[in-house]
Amino acid sequence: MPLLQVENLSGGYEPTQIFSNVSLTVAEGACVGFFGPNGHGKTTLMKTLSGVIDPWSGSIVFEGVRLNASVERKSRRSRNLNYDVLTRPRMDPKKVARAGLIHVPQGSTLFPDMTVSEILSIAPIAAHGAGRVSDTDAVFALFPRLKERLKLKARFLSGGERQMLSMACGMLAAPKLLILGRTYLGAFAESQA
C-alpha cells in the first residue's frame, strides 16, 4: 500500500483553477520533487495536499485513509458574499497533521517573539494535540546552529537559521511524510556544509 495516493486532484483559488486532474503515488521511503517555473501551481498543490487549501475534486489517501471528503464542491458567489466561507471545508488540516503528513511551507511562518527553545517545544504539541517525546538530539545533530541559538528570539535569527528552525519544527512533529517548500533545500544544504 502506498504512503500517499492522489487521484484526479483539482484545486486552486476561487474562481481560478490552478491545477487539474493531478494523480501521483508516493511509496514509503521515497523522495519526490516537483520542479518548474514560478506560477505553475507547485505551492498550491502542496497546500492542497496538506489541507491548507480545500481541494475542488479528486481524492487524497494517506496510509489507506481518505483525508478529504467526497462531497462535491458547490461554489456559490454573489457580488457581496462568498458562500464558500459559510460551508464546511472538505478537508481538515489538523486531521492531516495528526495523520503524519506534515507541511513546512515556504517563507518565515515562525512566532517572532518566541525563543528557539520555546518554538521547538511546541512543535510536537501543535501537530499531535498532546505532548509527545521528541528527538531534539537528532534535530541538533542535523542543525547544530539551532542549539547555539536556543535562547534567541526567532526575529533575531538569520534567514537560513529561520528556515532551519522551520524544518526542525516539521521534523519534531514526527512526520510520516514531510513536505518542504523550495527554499528549505538551501537551508538543508547549508546545514550539511
> Of the candidates 75, 188, 85, which has an alpha carbon nearest to the alpha carbon of residue 139?
188
pLDDT of residue 180: 87
Tens-place pLDDT, residues 49-92: 999 888 999 999 999 999 998 766 665 555 666 655 666 667 88
Once rounded to an integer, what is the mean pLDDT over residues 32-48? 89
- Would you tell me which CATH number, out of the four given (3.40.47.10, 3.40.50.300, 3.40.1160.10, 3.20.20.210), belongs to the domain 104-192? 3.40.50.300
Mean predicted lDDT score pLDDT of the chain: 83
b/e sequence 79-117, b meaning 16+ C-beta within 10 Å: eeeeeeeeeeebbebeebbebbbbbbbbeeebeeeebbe
pLDDT band at 182 (very low <50, low <70, confident <90, very high): low
Q: Are the C-beta atoms of 21 and 58 separated by less than 8 Å?
A: yes
What is the CATH number that goes with domain 4-98? 3.40.50.300
**Residue 10, pLDDT score:** 93
